[in-house]
A and B are shown apart, each in its own frame.
Chain A
Amino acid sequence: MVSSVERPPTIPAGSQLILRCKDFRVYQILIPQERDCMDVHASLVRLSRPEKYSELYCMSFNPNVNKEEREDSWKLIDLMADYKRMGVPNNLWVSTAANSEYRVCDTYPSELFVPKSATPAIIVGSSRFRSRGRFPALSYFHQDTLAAVCRCSQPLSGFSGRCQEDEMMLQAVMKSNPGSEYIYVVDTRPKLNAMANRAAGKGYENEDHYTNIKLQFIGIENIHVMRSSQQKIIDVGEMRAPSMTDFLWGLENSGWLKHIKAVLDAGVFIARAVADEGVSVLVHCSDGWDRTAQACSVASILLDPFYRTLKGLMVLIERDWVSFGHKFSHRYAHLDGDPKEVSPVIDQFLECVWQLSEQFPCAFEFNERFLIAIHTQVYSCQYGTFLCNCQKERRDIRLHERSHSVWPQLWKDRAEYTNPLYKAEQSQSQGILRPNTTPYCFKMWKGLYNHMEKSTPPRQSPSDYLSTVKEETQQLEEELINHQERIAALMGKPITWEKIEVPRRRTSHLGQRHCGPDPPSTYTHPITSPTQDNGHALSSEPVNQEAQTKDPALSLPLGLHTHLKSQDPDDLSACSDLESGVADLSSRSSSGVDEGKDPNETASPPPDWKSKGNH
């Protein structure tokens, strides 16, 4: 995780090392002996830049499981099952063996889906006309409209080049969507960049050569722009006691939110085309493994509620990123290499998902912590999932035999990563998401870029609070059933399992929830309820008062409830179980408040305020 090690000048107390990590944490280490410090420095410099895959942690990491379990770990996420889920193969899209043994395109997966009318000759011909041989293949099929999201790399068109097979390939993509007469070709690059590529014999589709395509440029910047932009926003997060002007200016100057917006806009465009117009979309950038992966995966998130679940996001990343040859090793500097290849491509995808979760608090099964956990795993190489740059490379180094998959681990910890507000049957959890991409809807992702703030006592987090409440509710539900059964039994119906002890494990971590290293999830308080939106002019209206919404689910089955209420409620104190319940309730109080802390850290009147006392 170490991205750089600095050795500032020695101070009297010893020598310092400043470690900058890939998850944007910064550690300062004080070593009393300068000699030791130099040794540590040298070791760290070498160790943080592994040159071979075999040096990476995942190759030696052994989570104490046997061979079968390791093999199973790689099977948790099954891409073919997901294609099946979206209805593929069918009479429009079929599996092709063209790329078995990675013959046509070495950075693509071996199993791919293409339009039914695309013959192997067309595929091979098309791939010769595409950068790195990355021919158009299916990313996502939308069953409701039969429109599809396909992906490829830029055509090798230069200024006037054309390729019959490639034109037929695009025609085939269109034909695989019976309802439409054209397809969108989304070039996610700024138009200028795409035009410049023509000089190098690459470029974009000429609308005169391809019948029935509509070309759309989105304007996501290239990896170099993104790299420097992220560095700037990291700097903003690390600023010490910035003024509001410094902060907002830094935010603007970094351009980061602008780039996030561009990625989200690309996804929104594709999702609208597919869901609203029923038109298939072919997405590419230059090589079709960075911006294309971003745009396709954001579109899938918007289009399909499945990808908003824990499992779904894993599948999506496995498909659009891992299998389609996103260059993890280069982008996230797993091995010592060209620093110009490094770029926060998947960071931006994860942030888009976070920004969406801020707008749609009930739409995602997972919480912010899950996104940050994935982010960490992408960089850490503790597991083999994100190693290498493509499937072929993974096969060649026998990655699956030598390392473990990260997904089972994340799945095991899913309780940690669950969003308490997620409800599968809610409207925002279903169908297509239509986010607002007006600039004011984007916020800086404090959870990722502001570790400084995180180190101070975490604030109260409603979502953690709710998770605890939900956990408790579940226990109560179990207890309830149990009691009912026992009562039934006591009333004269002997049930054999009546002695089952109520699982009343009140976990001790309730009180400590907020002390861990996890970021406090931010939660936007809802805007005032719609009844109030009519303003006070209406508030004197009796009509208005009826509009108060009451969740019907809140009321209990009436019969039982009234029956219970008829008992003497003052007798509660006699029950010791109840008392323990009350105590637990109070202990879950999610107070991030810590009186014992130095207020200079928390309430940030500048620590030097005293000096300002004298004029």
Chain B
Amino acid sequence: MSNTPIFKAFCCSSLGTKSLPRCLQPTCFCERTSVGRQQLKREGKSAVRVSAQVMEFAELIKTPRVDGVVLHRPFLPTVEGTLCLTGHHLILSSRQDNTEELWLLHSNIDSIEKRFVGSLGTIIVKCKDLRVIQLDIPGMEECLNIASSIEALSTLDSVSLMYPFFYRPMFEVIEDGWNSFLPEDVFKDLESMTDEWRLSEVNKDFSVCQSYPPLVAVPKNVDDETLKKVATFRHGGRFPVLSYYHKKNGMVMMRAGQPLTGTNGRRCKEDEKLINATLRPGKRGYIIDTRTINVAQQAKARGGGFETEGNYPQWRRIHKAIERYNILQESLIKLVEACNDQSHSMDRWLSKLEASNWQTHVKEILTTACLAAQCIDREGASVLVHGTEGTDATLQVTSLAQIILDPACRTIRGFQGLVEREWLQAGHPFQQRCATSAYSNNKPRQEAPVFLLFLDCVWQILRQFPCSFEFSESFLVLLFEHAYASQFGTFLANSTAERTKLSLPEKTVSLWSWVNRPQELERLTNPLYEANSLVIWPSVAPQSLLLWEGVFLRWNRSSKCLDEAYEEMVHIIEYNKELQSKVNSLRRQLAELETEDPLLQTP
């Protein structure tokens, strides 16, 4: 397989403003002309599947198009036009040049509401990116049909029906994002710093741990047999693996699932051996348990538990209080409700904000990350982080600690690598967590804004250190959007095992392929950035932590003035740079002239 496939195919997303009528066919996504052998081969294979699924979508779409629909969006003029439903998109176009169309992925729709006044129906579409739009649809029947179609299309169960499987990039893929952050490449960097670690293939067929990637970094002197035994002692088979190596002092951060001590205080010599192998002689390490001591105690009854002092004398355990995912989801719902509250009462707003507890979670997560970073950088101690499963709070802590400690993670590419390593490959169940957002009426099952909270925390640090990050806030917002609904396959599925099974790298495009192109990178770059090689210690005082307006108030208030300010800021910096180079050129020219004409030389 080529690393840089060049697709020049067309699908529904490629139809410009003028060619809308073609979109009126709900099956437009298969209208492709392909160039290149690769693509031809793929076409052949997928043709059968696609046509079968076209049928499936067609059944769901009761009314493919309605004319005279009025769209209301926050801070944008209303648009009247034709509404079309395709297999994956809700499209509204005025069919005039120069007017923007609405293309909304069905998978972005969190919930819808219907209202009727006479024969005029109104559908309120609430999206996972927290936007709320309103569609006025003439005709009761059309409205009901559209509503039920949207409902069906936005809640498709099968992953393989998702848009990323149908999307073909309209841009040239310079670098296939699926291969950009492979564990073996990351390990090469580690090898250049230390020889104490090795890359184990023990999980190459995902039999030891379902949620781990095939390759993980473990202490060199611990063999695969030991790892297998440890895996049976850790929740979900998540034996301790390397998360971060602190170059400055050689300390490490590891992560794992909780030890399965149970009420009997089961112990596992191999587990003790494994984590002790990461300590320098005579050194102690810290175990950061993201749960409170009470929660950890209760976990024993369900077979879980924590490392006791007796069995792990070289480790000191610290309990923190990061909430579990179901509580976080509730928090998100309350926060978004507070932001959408129309009353103008300050007391009400502040008490709702407080009651949502969102900011408390942000503070708690950041505090724990600071603690981990402090143990490593200040105490010169290695750290093991875990909660219950080790797939949520654990990852928040390990990834944020790296933002604090490692300047590389504050670059655009480094941050992608961090998300790839500490979230995607580390087995954060994106599909489960991001199935619904704040507006869904369904009872949450495994949904939770764990990743959003992580992004929020990164934003807080970015806001406090606006010159130390190569990327701007828009990159974080972009990741939030794509985690919930995307044309790219990056955030599909729950683990590397599932991604492999679904052949995502072959069948879908990676978000990184899109992001790592000059024109996108330019848009995501922070103009204030100046590489800062230091550890950055964020303040976690409540006064320093603000509500992330870029996400939570994004659709509630106009960003015009702030955008203007941003442009002005960019302008000031760019102008300075241009001037700098111009002056330098002149200086040189002057120097040349002066040497040519010694009589005029200035003293």
New A-B contacts (13) at CB < 8 Å, excluding given A476-B580, A599-B378: A242-B541, A252-B351, A439-B346, A439-B350, A489-B600, A490-B600, A525-B550, A527-B562, A536-B485, A595-B534, A595-B535, A613-B286, A615-B317
Q: Supply 6 A–B pairs (Cβ within 8 Å), ascending by A.
A: A258-B347, A423-B568, A440-B547, A472-B576, A483-B587, A602-B539
- Is residue B241 contacting chain A, with contact meaning CB distance below 8 A? no
- Is residue B51 contacting chain A, with contact meaning CB distance below 8 A? no
B537 to A603, Cβ gap below 8 A? yes
A554 to B293, Cβ gap below 8 A? no
Residues of A within 8 A of B573 (CB): 466, 469
- Is residue A491 contacting chain B, with contact meaning CB distance below 8 A? yes
B374 to A603, Cβ gap below 8 A? yes
Q: How far is the CB of A356 from chain B (nearest CB, A)?
A: 10
Q: How far is the CB of A529 from chain B (nearest CB, A)?
A: 6
Closest residue on chain A to residue B592 by CB atoms: A567
Residues of A within 8 A of B14 (CB): 540, 542
* Interface residue SS majority, chain A: helix
Q: How far is the CA of A437 from the CA of B557 in the complex (A)?
A: 10
- Is residue A535 contacting chain B, with contact meaning CB distance below 8 A? yes
The residue among A257, A459, A540, A606 with the most chain B CB atoms within 10 A of its own CB is A540
B129 to A615, Cβ gap below 8 A? no
A604 to B317, Cβ gap below 8 A? no
Closest residue on chain B to residue A480 by CB atoms: B583
Could you say which of A68-76, A99-107, A373-381, A543-551 contacts chain B?
A: A543-551
Among all A-B residue pairs, the 8 with the closest Cβ atoms? A247-B542, A526-B566, A439-B349, A603-B537, A361-B565, A527-B559, A252-B350, A248-B354
A593 contact from B536, B543, B566, Cβ within 8 A: B536
Q: How far is the CA of A514 from the CA of B377 in the complex (A)?
A: 25
B600 to A526, Cβ gap below 8 A? no
- Is residue A590 contacting chain B, with contact meaning CB distance below 8 A? yes
Q: How far is the CB of B473 from chain A (nearest CB, A)?
A: 5
A528 contact from B131, B318, B473, Cβ within 8 A: B473
A460 to B103, Cβ gap below 8 A? no
Could you say which of A135-143, A336-344, A574-582 contacts chain B?
A: A574-582
Q: Mark B418-459, 1 if CB is under 8 A from A, else 0.
A: 000000000000000000000000000000000000000000
Given A362-B565, A535-B131, the answer on whether A251 and B350 have CB atoms closer than 8 Å is yes
Residues of A within 8 A of B104 (CB): 535, 537
Count of A interface residues, CB-CB < 8 Å: 123
- Is residue B496 contacting chain A, with contact meaning CB distance below 8 A? no
A590 to B467, Cβ gap below 8 A? yes
Q: Mark B470-485, 1 if CB is under 8 A from A, else 0.
A: 0011100110011001
A523 contact from B13, B108, B466, Cβ within 8 A: B466
Q: How far is the CA of A453 from the CA of B539 in the complex (A)?
A: 9
Q: How far is the CA of A593 from the CA of B543 in the complex (A)?
A: 19
Q: For residues 232 through 280 of chain A, which have their beta carbon under 8 Å from a beta carbon of chain B?
A: 237, 241-249, 251-252, 255, 257-258, 261
- Is residue A217 contacting chain B, with contact meaning CB distance below 8 A? no
Residues of A within 8 A of B600 (CB): 489-490, 498
Residues of B within 8 A of A (CB): 13-14, 16-17, 89, 100-105, 108, 127, 129, 131, 167, 169-170, 286, 293, 316-319, 339, 344-351, 353-354, 357, 359-360, 362-363, 367, 370-371, 373-374, 377-378, 404, 462-468, 472-474, 477-478, 481-482, 485-487, 514, 519, 523, 528, 530, 532, 534-547, 549-550, 553-554, 556-559, 561-576, 578-591, 593-594, 597, 600, 602-603
Could you say which of A89-97, A308-316, A442-450 contacts chain B?
A: A442-450
Residues of A within 8 A of B532 (CB): 589, 591, 593
Residues of A within 8 A of B (CB): 237, 241-249, 251-252, 255, 257-258, 261, 359-363, 420-421, 423, 426-428, 436-444, 446, 450, 453, 456, 459-462, 465-466, 469-470, 472-473, 476-477, 479-480, 483-484, 486-487, 489-491, 498-499, 523-543, 545, 548-549, 551, 553-556, 560-561, 564-565, 567, 571-572, 574-575, 577-578, 581, 585-586, 589-593, 595, 597, 599, 602-606, 609, 612-613, 615
Q: How far is the CB of A238 from chain B (nearest CB, A)?
A: 11
Q: How far is the CA of A484 from the CA of B481 in the complex (A)?
A: 50
Given A480-B579, A556-B578, the answer on whether A581 and B363 have CB atoms closer than 8 Å is no
Residues of A within 8 A of B542 (CB): 242-244, 246-248
Q: How far is the CA of A428 from the CA of B563 in the complex (A)?
A: 11
B482 to A536, Cβ gap below 8 A? yes
Given A252-B351, A490-B590, A528-B477, the answer on whether A462 and B564 have CB atoms closer than 8 Å is no
Q: How far is the CA of A231 from the CA of B499 in the complex (A)?
A: 57
B561 to A363, Cβ gap below 8 A? yes
A529 to B523, Cβ gap below 8 A? yes
B472 contact from A443, A525, A586, Cβ within 8 A: A525
A247 to B543, Cβ gap below 8 A? yes
Given A527-B559, A537-B108, A577-B587, the answer on whether A462 and B487 have CB atoms closer than 8 Å is no
B561 contact from A359, A461, A602, Cβ within 8 A: A359
The residue among A246, A565, A595, A605 with the most chain B CB atoms within 10 A of its own CB is A605
Q: How far is the CA of A126 from the CA of B349 in the complex (A)?
A: 43
Residues of B within 8 A of A526 (CB): 473, 559, 562-563, 565-566
Q: How far is the CA of A577 from the CA of B131 in the complex (A)?
A: 52
Q: How far is the CB of A278 from chain B (nearest CB, A)?
A: 25
* Interface residue SS majority, chain B: helix
Given A483-B586, A490-B600, A551-B571, the answer on whether A453 and B564 have CB atoms closer than 8 Å is no
Residues of A within 8 A of B468 (CB): 460, 591, 593
B594 to A602, Cβ gap below 8 A? no
B569 to A466, Cβ gap below 8 A? yes
Residues of A within 8 A of B473 (CB): 525-528
Q: How far is the CA of A551 from the CA of B538 in the complex (A)?
A: 33
Residues of B within 8 A of A615 (CB): 293, 317, 319
Residues of B within 8 A of A486 (CB): 590, 602
Given A436-B557, A527-B550, A603-B374, the answer on whether A490 and B346 have CB atoms closer than 8 Å is no
A612 contact from B318, B462, B553, B566, Cβ within 8 A: B318
Given A244-B360, A473-B576, A540-B167, the answer on whether A564 and B464 have CB atoms closer than 8 Å is no
Q: How far is the CB of B524 from chain A (nearest CB, A)?
A: 10
Q: How far is the CA of A530 from the CA of B486 in the complex (A)?
A: 19
Q: How far is the CA of A140 from the CA of B318 in the complex (A)?
A: 63
B523 to A421, Cβ gap below 8 A? no
Q: How far is the CB of A352 from chain B (nearest CB, A)?
A: 14
Q: How far is the CA of A539 from the CA of B131 in the complex (A)?
A: 16
Q: How far is the CB of B350 from chain A (nearest CB, A)?
A: 4
B588 to A572, Cβ gap below 8 A? yes
B583 to A476, Cβ gap below 8 A? yes
The residue among A438, A450, A590 with the most chain B CB atoms within 10 A of its own CB is A438
Closest residue on chain A to residue B88 by CB atoms: A537
Given A247-B543, A605-B370, the answer on whether A536 and B576 have CB atoms closer than 8 Å is no
A428 to B564, Cβ gap below 8 A? yes
The residue among A439, A532, A537, A545 with the most chain B CB atoms within 10 A of its own CB is A537
Q: How far is the CA of A280 from the CA of B492 in the complex (A)?
A: 60
A245 to B371, Cβ gap below 8 A? no
Q: How far is the CA of A226 from the CA of B394 in the complex (A)?
A: 45
The residue among B377, B546, B572 with the most chain A CB atoms within 10 A of its own CB is B572
Q: How far is the CA of A484 from the CA of B473 in the complex (A)?
A: 40
Q: How far is the CA of A245 from the CA of B361 in the complex (A)?
A: 11
B570 contact from A361, A551, A586, Cβ within 8 A: A551
A476 to B579, Cβ gap below 8 A? yes
B481 to A536, Cβ gap below 8 A? yes
Residues of B within 8 A of A257 (CB): 346, 350
Residues of B within 8 A of A483 (CB): 583, 586-587, 589-590
Residues of A within 8 A of B354 (CB): 244-245, 248-249, 252
Residues of A within 8 A of B339 (CB): 440
Q: How far is the CA of A591 from the CA of B407 in the complex (A)?
A: 13
Closest residue on chain A to residue B89 by CB atoms: A537
Closest residue on chain B to residue A450 by CB atoms: B543
A529 to B105, Cβ gap below 8 A? no
B318 contact from A470, A578, A609, Cβ within 8 A: A609
